Amino acid sequence: HPWFVAVQYHPEFKSKPNIPHPLFRDFVQACLQRRLGRAVAISAPGDSIRAQG
């Protein structure tokens, strides 16, 4: 398993069907990019994460 995430809050309570919480949105984006074999840079204010496929 190449990656995991843990939080001490419930981001699902901040999600709506058409407006997902950034944690879920970015996780799904990274999963899709990995499946497609592409690298994608995901940036947040002050942070930069590079997901590789």
CA distances from 42 to 8, 13, 16, 30 (A): 22, 23, 21, 8
Q: What is the per-residue pLDDT for 20?
A: 87
pLDDT at 53: 46
Q: Which residues pair with 41 in a beta bridge?
A: 50
Q: Return the pLDDT at 42.
A: 57
Q: Which tens digits make up the pLDDT trace of 12-28?
A: 788 888 898 888 888 88
- For 24-53, what is each residue's pLDDT tens digit? 888 888 889 888 887 655 555 555 445 444
**DSSP 8-state code for residue 35:** H
What are the structure tokens assigned to 34, written together? 């990995």
